[in-house]
Amino acid sequence: METTCAYCGWRKVEIQEGHRKRQYCSDGCKQAAYRQRKSKEKFSQRRQTEQQAIAELRKRWPDFSWTTWFFLQTVCRPLGESFMEQAAKIINDERMQAMLKATQIFQSPLQDEGQL
Ligand SMILES: [Zn+2]
């Protein structure tokens, strides 16, 4: 009986009756498949850590956008948590300033009326 290699998909693999099923045509394919599986695991682990970090940032700064959380978790790894906190603080201050300004613009006509 024959089947195709689970890695390269084109070379035939002989299956002998009574033996454990062989999935790959060669050791090379077997190793390549193993490496591929490992790097996929690593990738999904990294994704998970990323999502956890974003969830934490979401709790601390619920008003930020996803882009900002993503940016913060990206800088957090190479630059450290204190740098990240500083960046978050600056972003927050900028937001507060902008909101304050917006409120002032909104309120100024009323203040003018009061002065008249
Ligand atoms: Zn193969």
d(CA 107, CA 99): 12
List pLDDT tens digits, range 42-73.
999 999 999 999 999 999 999 999 999 999 99
How far does residue 28's CA lie from ligand 1's centre (Å)?
7
**This prediction's pTM:** 0.59
Residues within 5 A (CB) of ion ligand 1? 5, 7-8, 11, 25, 29
How far does residue 31's CA lie from ligand 1's centre (Å)?
10
- Phi and psi at 23, nearest 5°, equal -105, -25
List pLDDT tens digits, range 9-43.
988 887 777 766 788 999 999 999 999 999 999 99
Considering the chain, what percentage of its residues have pLDDT values greater than 70? 88
d(CA 96, CA 98): 5
Q: Which value, in Å, is the radius of gyration of the alpha carbons in the chain?
A: 29
| Mean pLDDT for all residues in the chain | 87
How far does residue 52's CA lie from ligand 1's centre (Å)?
37
Sequence length of the chain is 116
